[in-house]
Amino acid sequence: MARRALYDYLYPAAPQDLERDPESMYVFTSQRAAWLRQQGCPDHLSARGIEHLWAQFKRQGSYEEWQLIADIPFHDLRHDFAHRARQSGWSLEEIAVYAGHQTKDGVPAIATTVRYTLPSRKQLKERVQLLQG
């Protein structure tokens, strides 16, 4: 799914559907990419831009959908990925490397990754219930 979505974005069927600025070296470009380049600034989509798109996107849901997703910040998707990877058997080191958690020396920053994969209260409750005796 992810690869398909990226491919469709980078190589749309019709050239006029290309939403990316082809002059840019970045994957996700700002809508003001050309202007930013003129100013000598990086022309990638900014974190604020992503948050804006995310808020716009969430508003398109029905009331029922909105109630489920209203409180989800975009960055939670990254946390969710780390949880799913952990549940799929990835080690903390693997998640750290994949998620780009590194110290300046290039060593995996496990402490950071741990913050992404802390067990929830619900998970701990389930564990406690499994205790014998």
Partner 1 sequence: MTTRSTDSPPLQEFAAALGGCDPKTAAAYLTTVRDFVAWLASQPGGRPFHLGLVTETAVRGYMDFLVTVNRAPRTRSKALSALRRFCQWAVDEGHLRRNPARAMERPTVVAVAPTELSEKQRFVLKTMVEQHATSRFAAIFAASLLGRAAHQRDRDAATGSVHHQSTSRQHYPGRCQRRKDEDA
Binding residues for partner 1, rule: CB under 8 A, are 1-12, 17, 19-20, 25-28, 42, 44-47, 50, 53, 57, 60-61, 65, 68-69, 72, 74-85, 95, 98-104, 109, 111-112, 115-120
Give 119's DSSP letter: P
Q: What long-range pairs does 112-120 form, CB within 8 A, spacing at least 24?
A: 113/82, 116/78, 116/79, 116/82, 116/83, 117/82, 117/83, 117/86, 117/92
Rounded least distance, CB 33 to partner 1, Å:
12
Rounded least distance, CB 5 to partner 1, Å:
4
Residues 6+ apart with CB under 8 A from 82: 95, 99, 113, 116, 117
Which residue, 92 or 95, is less far from partner 1 as judged by CB?
A: 95
Which residue, 9 or 34, is less far from partner 1 as judged by CB?
A: 9
Cβ atoms of 9 and 1 closer than 8 Å: no
Which residue, 40 or 133, is less far from partner 1 as judged by CB?
A: 40
Which residue, 2 or 132, is less far from partner 1 as judged by CB?
A: 2
Rounded least distance, CB 127 to partner 1, Å:
14
| Distance of alpha carbon 48 from alpha carbon 106, whole angstroms | 28
Cβ atoms of 104 and 129 closer than 8 Å: no
Rounded least distance, CB 131 to partner 1, Å:
21
